[in-house]
């Protein structure tokens, strides 16, 4: 397990001891790979990539600074939002419970229809997850964001806005810590909720590997930051990752998956 207070930002040469220790989790090693920065440079932007190779207990980061900087999670928060919805009963079945379209026509056509939790996360339907957050409510949302120790745990800024324009911040190392606990089913919530969220994560197949991941994108006012977080599975080899980069152009927005795949290939995870 990874803990954010063991600074990848400081990039200690010593092994990283998880605070949430389990018997089958060893000390972790960390490695700085400056060559990964070329992937962002080639796109004309700046960014960071952090990968955690589970079997090797190895954390690989592209830089010493940005990898530990907290940012708005944007739509990557749909992962914990979905988890909390299932845990609180706001959603009972991710394939059967339907959120009716509110009739407001939005620029993304895929949002202008009814959705289940699975279909909503597939197209990153912001209005659906805003409605989910409102149904969860501030008290329960705060409780569960605390329980799962997500980012800075600050949901200030509006119950349906805090992850897109509000106070919530999370860095790549925290993203990986959360995702690894979710993947392993060791978050302090129900196993069923965790398994269902893992199951509804969008899947991309790359050769004989599978990537389960969620995108995120903040608006221009909040930095035009693009995220991709999740994990890759190649046989029995699993790598949990978090990538964010400045996205000033549509081409950069579209490149979130490709640049992540390049970084995963560079660290021999694909």
User: What's the pLDDT tens digit per position in 160-180?
Assistant: 999 999 999 999 999 999 999
Q: Please give the Cα distance from 4 to 10 (Å, whole number).
A: 11
Give kind and range of the element (H or E) at residue 217.
strand 209-217
Q: Is the pLDDT of residue 10 over 70?
A: no
- Give the pLDDT band of residue 220 (cuts 50, 70, 90): confident
Give the pairing type, strands 29-32 and 58-61.
Answer: parallel
pLDDT reading at 22 higher than 90: no
- 248 has a pLDDT exceeding 90: yes
Burial of 33 (0-12, 13-18, 19+ CB in 10 A): middle
Residues 181-209 as b or e (16 or more Cβ within 10 Å = b): bbbbeebebeeebbebbbebbbeeeeeeb
Cα separation of 35 and 172, whole Å?
A: 18
pTM: 0.90
Say yes or no to pLDDT of 247 above 50: yes
Q: Is 75 in the active site?
A: yes
Residue 209's DSSP bridge partners are: 206, 234
Structure tokens at 140: 């329960």
Which among 67, 75, 119, 232 is annotated as catalytic? 75
pLDDT: which is higher, 16 or 255? 255
Mean pLDDT, rounded, for 16-45: 71
More confident residue, 5 or 131: 131
């Amino acid at each position: 397990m990874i803990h954010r207070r063991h600074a990848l930002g400081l990039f200690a040469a010593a092994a990283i001891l998880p605070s949430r220790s389990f018997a089958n989790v060893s000390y972790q090693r960390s490695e700085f790979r400056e060559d990964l920065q070329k992937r962002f440079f080639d796109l004309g932007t700046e960014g960071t990539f952090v990968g955690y190779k589970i079997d090797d207990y190895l954390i690989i980061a592209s830089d010493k600074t940005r990898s530990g900087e907290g940012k708005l999670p944007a739509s990557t928060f749909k992962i914990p939002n979905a988890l909390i919805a299932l845990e609180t009963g706001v959603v009972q079945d991710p394939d059967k419970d339907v959120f009716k379209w509110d009739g407001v026509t939005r620029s993304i056509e895929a949002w202008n229809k009814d959705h289940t939790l699975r279909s909503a996360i597939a197209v990153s339907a912001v209005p659906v997850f805003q409605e989910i957050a409102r149904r969860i409510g501030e008290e329960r949302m705060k409780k569960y964001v605390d329980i799962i120790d997500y980012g800075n745990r600050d949901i200030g800024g509006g119950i349906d806005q805090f992850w897109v324009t509000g106070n919530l911040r999370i860095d790549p190392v925290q993203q990986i810590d959360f995702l690894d606990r979710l993947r392993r089913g060791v978050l302090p919530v129900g196993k069923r909720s965790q398994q269902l969220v893992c199951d509804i994560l969008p899947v991309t197949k790359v050769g004989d590997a599978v990537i389960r991941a969620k995108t995120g994108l903040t608006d221009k006012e909040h930095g035009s930051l693009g995220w991709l977080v999740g994990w890759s599975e190649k046989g029995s080899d699993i790598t949990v990752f978090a990538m964010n980069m400045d996205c000033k152009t549509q081409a950069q927005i579209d490149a979130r998956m490709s640049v992540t795949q390049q970084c995963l290939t560079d660290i021999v995870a694909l």
